[in-house]
Amino acid sequence: MKYKVNITNEVGKLNAVILHSPGKEVENMTPRNAQKALYSDILNLNIAKKEYEQFDGVLSKLTKTFQVIDLLKDVLNDDKVRNSFIESLFKNKTDKYNLKERLFEMNPEELAEQLITGVVMKKDNLSKFLSDERYSLQPLHNFFFMRDASMAIKNEVLIGRMANKVRRRESLIMKTIFDNHPYFDTKTVSPDEICSEDNATTIEGGDVLVAREDILIIGIGARTTPEGVDFLIDKYKKENKSMDIIVQELPKKPESFIHLDMVFTFLDKDICMVYEPIVIKNNKYSTVHINIDNGKVNFIRNENNLLSALKKLGMELKPVLCGGDKDPWIQEREQWHSGANFFAVAPGKILGYERNHYTLEALNKEGFEIIRAKDIINGKKDINDYKRAVITIEGSELARGGGGCRCMTMPINRDKI
């Protein structure tokens, strides 16, 4: 079956999603190299896998799921695709470990696995023997956060240009899949095709929310740059398409603010989750509205905040506060553990971590029934029996990786609303 990529909102019924279950690449890390891998701590893979099995189990029960490793193996079975991929890996790079030859010798299954888990360095000369590096090709420690390397916007897939070079192979993998897998009907758009290696343009999927067919919300900060937004502005101008882009500036520190979806996510057509200090309260972080029409930018102007900017465009959203409304310390603690990062499988039906108790209480007050993931998986409860519900994942270990349920998904088709 061919799946047409079509994402025009954040909450319509989910029809298909790509996932990546965390594997050996998560364990191929030590405290010494955790920061280089963009982690503040190392994860226990056994616990993380058990928690992820709940997440995967719920989504597999509710929609069509694909695993990225299976898709990658499929496309690498084509010799032409495999050769092109390996050549692209070394474009404008020196093959100082003579790695290309090793990759060409691997069969498609082995190649797909090691592109994700890493290729251990052969210590076959003195410089390699003395090197602190363990891998000739580094593991993709962050790849289970599927959201960032590619993002569906309407019927196209925007390939992320990652802020950190250790993640750029993720983008190449996703582009190769979408360009070549027969399951998907789409076209990819990639900033890398026009950007030099040192270009400031970066854009990651955690910063891009499709609010409506004609409205994008984009965060700029540690991972997405103003130049990344400019790339989209130029694209819509050239295509003579109408689009409103609401840009929300984010703190660059601490790391819990790496993406917009760590402070703002949609829960239903008329309700959202927000981290109040950034999204609502007066602060130094700008909200900017950009209107594009008839091949030009009509205006760029400051707005009071994200919610008021959306209200002017006909989207009035009631905010639910991450961490509740009683104590800013609690808000800060729960935001740190992805308390604002929810993923909708249908209007008013969302997934999030059960550890964020005060956030769940706030959702419950707004009519969201709290359902354990296990009860959905074993059929004890049916999400269709509820008008609004939050399915809770045991996320004590996954949250320590720095992302939540939205971070771990790459949706490719939703119903329009």
Both tokens of 2, joined, read 């061919």
Q: How far apart are CA 203 and CA 148, in angstroms?
A: 8
Q: Is the pLDDT of residue 176 over 70?
A: yes
How confident is the model over 247-257, as a mean pLDDT? 91
At residue 8, the pLDDT reads: 98
Distances 307 to 211, 270, 280 between C-alpha atoms, Å: 12, 11, 7
pLDDT digits (tens, 9 = 90+) for 63-80: 999 999 999 999 999 999
Judge whether 355 and 337 are in contact, CB under 8 Å: yes
- Alpha helix locations (H) across 168-288? 168-180, 226-238, 276-279
pLDDT at residue 302 greater than cutoff 50: yes
In the predicted structure, residue 356 carries a pLDDT above the cut 90: yes
Bridge partners of residue 318, in order along the sequence: 271
pLDDT score of 197: 67
- Structure confidence by residue, pLDDT tens digits, 227-237: 999 999 999 99
Q: The pTM is what? A: 0.94
| pLDDT average, residue stretch 160-173 | 93
CA atoms within a 13 Å half-sphere pointing along the CA-CB vector of 122: 10
pLDDT of residue 33: 57
Q: Which pair of tokens denotes residue 172?
A: 């190449």
What is the structure's pLDDT at 40? Answer: 53
CA torsion angle for 10, 13, 17, 21 (degrees, to 10)?
90
The predicted structure's pLDDT at residue 34? 47
Q: What span, in angstroms and rounded, lies between the C-alpha atoms of 312 and 315?
A: 7
Q: What is the CA radius of gyration of the chain?
A: 21
pLDDT exceeds 80 at position 95: no
Q: In the chain, pLDDT over 70 holds for what percent of residues?
A: 96
pLDDT classification of 98: cutoffs 50, 70, 90: confident
Report the candidate in 205, 221, 152, 162 with the shortest Cα–Cα distance to residue 12. 152
**Mean pLDDT of the 241-265 span:** 94
Across the beta sheet with 64-67, the strand order is 64-67, 14-19, 410-414
Domains and CATH numbers, the chain: 3-409 (3.75.10.10)
First to last CA, the chain: 24
Residue 388 to residue 386: CA distance in whole angstroms: 5
Measured in whole angstroms, how far is the alpha carbon of residue 77 from the centre of its chain?
27
Q: Which residues contact 47 (CB under 8 A, 6 or more apart)?
A: 396, 397
